[in-house]
Amino acid sequence: MPDSQGSNPKILIVAGERSGDVFGAGLAKGLQARLPGAEFFGGGGDAMRQAGVNTVVDAHAIAIAGITEVIEGIPRVYRAFHQLLEEVDRRRPQLAVLIDFPDFNLRLAKRLKKRQIPVVYFVSPQVWAWRKGRVKKLKKRIVKMIVIFDFEEEIYKNAGVPVEYVGHPLIDMVRPHMAREEFFAKVGLDASVPTIALLPGSRQTEVSANLPIMLDAATRLTLDRKLQFVVAAAPTIDPHWLESTLLECYVGRATVRTAMHVTYDALQHSEVAVVASGTATLEAALRERPMVVVYRVSALTWLVGKFLVNVPYFSMVNILAKRPLVPELMQRDFNAVNLAAKVEYLLDHAEARQEMIEGYKDVKARMGQGNALERASDAIVEVYQAFQATS
């Protein structure tokens, strides 16, 4: 559908995290089907590029977390921000779709508003946990919020922000691709040995903080039992760097393998998972894998966060379950002794594993019925058409 000037629609899409990149790719495909000939550009990663988005800014350049990392990353984020704006001024998109990543995207939305470019925001910032004032900013800067958690819809309705709940895209995405024997053959492990999946995070800084403790716990776990481990790496992690980190940190006797692009299979075919807090906890819940959630940040980030964050749990699994369904080890509590003890407990208590799996049913129910990206694409096209009709 051409715009009012007769040219193909131009749509800006910006994501700064691995999950946002995957969601952005799905939205781009959905919008291409609904707006034939549309041109997409913006910020993203490999998934969005493969979906046909011209990523003038790479997601790796702007994906930062934690106060100390943010400070170090300010120069490159500043450059990426203005590079995007220059491209916006050159191409003049008819619509912008901003995905999560609020520290960057809220500022971008303000600049787009001044340029009279309508903004649809997909995946709400966690305003229910901290920085509630962002709702007022969003009301001023966007034309529609599309949320993926059921409880978020009421927040925006009460604030007078146009909102639509579509469910969580992961419902349709978290599927294993290999049978058990195929998976173990691929990663070089023994299908008859109990396996622990290690998911240390999607950023190198996260992996650097989380993986050494996970491997220390693995060493302790293998002192008196036979286990093997698979480090399921996110596509954003350099596999050579990961292998060198493994060689530096692991001193246990068990077999440990690193593997790329097998996260869902690793979750499917392991007994227990150790998962860095984030989207991966929901992926583990969808695969019904008993887990221990862990995370560590800089002391400064943790100190500031304690005063700003107002939620009883850290993992989205526990937040959705409204109870401590899965154990959480954060900051100082996240050490090798505690982690080994939590994993041992799950390995030795089938009833605890089953109770966790049963609890995942409530979590899944709160994530929607599927086809979230299809509904989100429909909502975005409605906004596009409405603005084209009035332009």
Tokens of 157: 């309705």
d(CA 90, CA 352) in angstroms, rounded, equals: 57
pLDDT of residue 66: 47
**CA 13 distance to own-chain centroid:** 17
pTM for the whole thing? 0.89
In this prediction, residue 7 carries a pLDDT of 73
User: What pLDDT is stored for residue 115 in this prediction?
Assistant: 97
With 80 as the cut, is the pLDDT of residue 289 above it?
yes
Question: Dihedrals φ, ψ of 276, to 5°?
Answer: -65, 135
pLDDT at 301: 57
Q: Label residue 68 by pLDDT band (50, 70, 90).
A: very low
**Residue 5: per-residue pLDDT:** 46
Res 261 pLDDT > 60? yes
Q: At residue 129, does pLDDT exceed 80? A: no
pLDDT confidence of residue 128: 78
Tell me the pLDDT tens digit for each residue of 148-159.
999 999 999 999
Q: Residue 4: its pLDDT value, please?
A: 45
Q: Provide the pLDDT confidence category of residue 236 given band limits of 50, 70 and 90.
A: confident
Indicate if the pLDDT at residue 141 is higher than 50: yes
The pLDDT of residue 298: 58
- Predicted confidence (pLDDT) at residue 188 exceeds the cutoff of 90: yes
- Model pLDDT, residue 250: 94
Domains by residue range for the chain, with CATH: 10-168+369-390 (3.40.50.2000), 175-365 (3.40.50.2000)
How deeply is 168 buried, as exposed, middle or buried, from its count of CB atoms within 10 A (0-12, 13-18, 19+)? buried
Q: H/E/C letters for each residue in the chain?
A: CCCCCCCCCEEEEEECCHHHHHHHHHHHHHHHHHCCCCEEEEEECHHHHHCCCEEEEEHHHHCCCCHHHHHHHHHHHHHHHHHHHHHHHHHCCCEEEEECCHHHHHHHHHHHHHCCCCEEEECCCCCCCCCCCHHHHHHHHCCEEEECCHHHHHHHHHHCCCEEECCCCHHHHCCCCCCHHHHHHHHCCCCCCCEEEEECCCCHHHHHHHHHHHHHHHHHHCCCCCCEEEEEECCCCCHHHHHHHHHHHCCCCCCEEEEECCHHHHHHHCCEEEEECCHHHHHHHHCCCCEEEEECCCHHHHHHHHHHCCCCCCCHHHHHHCCCCCCEEEHHHCCHHHHHHHHHHHHHCHHHHHHHHHHHHHHHHCCCCCCHHHHHHHHHHHHHHHHHHHC
Cα 374 vs. chain centroid, distance in angstroms?
19
Provide, rounded to the nearest whole percent, the portion of the chain with pLDDT above 70.
92
Query: What pLDDT sits at residue 208?
Result: 94
pLDDT at 230: 98
Query: Angle at which helices 134-141 and 150-159 pack, to 10 degrees?
Result: 70
User: What pLDDT, on a 0 to 100 scale, did the predictor assign at position 299?
Assistant: 60
Taking a C-beta distance cutoff of 8 angstroms, is the pair 277, 291 a contact? Answer: no
pLDDT score, position 60: 77
Beta-carbon contacts of 132 under 8 Å, excluding residues fewer than 6 positions away, are none
pLDDT digits (tens, 9 = 90+) for 77-123: 889 999 999 999 999 999 999 999 998 999 999 999 999 999 999 99
Average pLDDT, the chain: 92
Rounded to a whole number, what is the distance in angstroms from the first to the last CA of the chain?
A: 15
pLDDT of residue 309: 61
More confident residue, 68 or 121: 121
pLDDT in tens, 310-366: 677 889 999 999 999 999 999 899 999 999 999 999 999 999 999 999 999 999 999
Which pLDDT band, with edges at 50, 70 and 90, does 300 fall under?
low
Q: pLDDT tens, 379-389?
A: 999 999 999 99
Residue 284 sits at φ, ψ, to 5 deg, of -65, -40
* Range of weakest confidence among 104-113, 127-136, 264-273: 127-136
